Chains A and B, each alone.
Chain A
Amino acid sequence: MFRNNYDNDSVTFSPQGRIFQVEYAAEAVKQGSVVVGIASKTHVVLVAIKRNAEELSSYQKKLFSIDEHVGIAIAGLTSDARVLSNFMKQQCLGHRLTYGRSMPVRSLVEMIGSKAQINTQHYGKRPYGVGLLIAGVDESGPHLFEFQPSGMTEEMVAFAIGARSQMARTYLEKNLDKFADCGREELIAHGLKALKESLVQDKELTVENTSVAVAGAKTKDGSSKSEPFKVYDGQDVNAWIENVADEKEAAAGGRALRVWTSTHRGMIMTTILLRDLRLPSTSRNIYLVGRREPPAIRLAGRLAGQAEPRDRAFRRGTLYNKNQTSSTKRQIAR
Chain B
Amino acid sequence: MDHRPQAWGRPRDDIYGAYDHSYLNHSGPKTATQSPVVTGTSVVAIKFNEGVVIAADNLASYGSLARFTDVKRLRTFLGTSVVGFGGDVSDMQFLDRHLNELAIDEAYDQEPTSDSADAGKEGLNAANLHKYLQKLMYKRRNDFDPLWNQILIAGLDSDSKPFLASVDLRGTTFTSPSLATGFGAMLAQPIMRLHAATEEDAAKLTRDQAVEVIKECMKVLYYRDARSLDRYSIAVVTKDGIDLKEDEQLEKQSWAFAERIKGYGTQTV
Contacts and interface: CB of A to CB of B under 8 A. Distances in A.
Interface string B83-121: 000000000000000000000000001010010000001
B239 interface: no
A201 interface: no
Measured as residues with beta carbon below 8 angstroms from the partner, the interface class of chain B is 10 to 19
A98 B135 contact: yes
B114 A140 contact: yes
B127 A100 contact: yes
Nearest to B111: A140
B128 A107 contact: no
B112 to A, nearest CB: 9
B128 A99 contact: yes
B67 interface: no
Interface string A136-154: 0011100000000000000
Nearest to B109: A107
B135 A97 contact: yes
Given A139-B122, A140-B114, A140-B122, A100 B109 contact: no
B109 A98 contact: no
B131 interface: yes
A108 to B, nearest CB: 10
A106 B111 contact: yes
Contacts of B132: 98-99
B128 A101 contact: yes
A104 interface: yes
Contacts of A99: 124, 128, 131-132
A171 to B, nearest CB: 26
A104 B124 contact: no
A282 B124 CA distance: 45
B175 interface: no
Contacts of B114: 140
Contacts of A101: 124-125, 128, 158
Interface string B118-142: 0001101101100110010000000
Contacts of B122: 104, 138-140
Nearest to B114: A140
A100 B111 contact: no
- A100, A104, A138, A139 pick with most chain B CB within 10 angstroms: A100
A101 B159 CA distance: 12
A190 to B, nearest CB: 23
Contacts of B109: 104, 106-107
A98 B128 CA distance: 8
A274 to B, nearest CB: 48
Contacts of B121: 139
Interface in A54-107: 97-101, 104, 106-107
Contacts of B128: 99-101
Contacts of B158: 101, 139
Contacts of A97: 135
Nearest to B139: A98
A260 B186 CA distance: 78
Given A139-B122, A140-B122, A98 B111 contact: no
Contacts of A100: 127-128, 131
A138 B114 CA distance: 13
Nearest to A100: B131
Interface string A209-222: 00000000000000
B42 to A, nearest CB: 27
A150 B158 CA distance: 36
Interface in A99-138: 99-101, 104, 106-107, 138
A138 B132 CA distance: 18
B2 to A, nearest CB: 47
Contacts of A104: 109, 122
A107 B108 CA distance: 10
Nearest to A97: B135
Nearest to A101: B128
A331 to B, nearest CB: 49
B74 to A, nearest CB: 22
Nearest to B113: A140
A106 B110 CA distance: 9
A104 B124 CA distance: 10
Contacts of A138: 122
Contacts of A106: 109, 111
10 closest pairs, A vs B, by CB? A100-B131, A139-B122, A99-B128, A140-B122, A140-B111, A98-B135, A107-B109, A101-B128, A99-B132, A100-B128
Given A107-B109, A138-B122, 19 more contacts: A97-B135, A98-B132, A99-B128, A99-B132, A100-B127, A100-B128, A100-B131, A101-B124, A101-B125, A101-B128, A104-B109, A104-B122, A106-B109, A106-B111, A139-B121, A139-B122, A139-B158, A140-B111, A140-B114
12 contacts: A97-B135, A98-B131, A98-B135, A99-B132, A100-B127, A101-B124, A101-B128, A104-B122, A106-B111, A138-B122, A139-B122, A139-B158
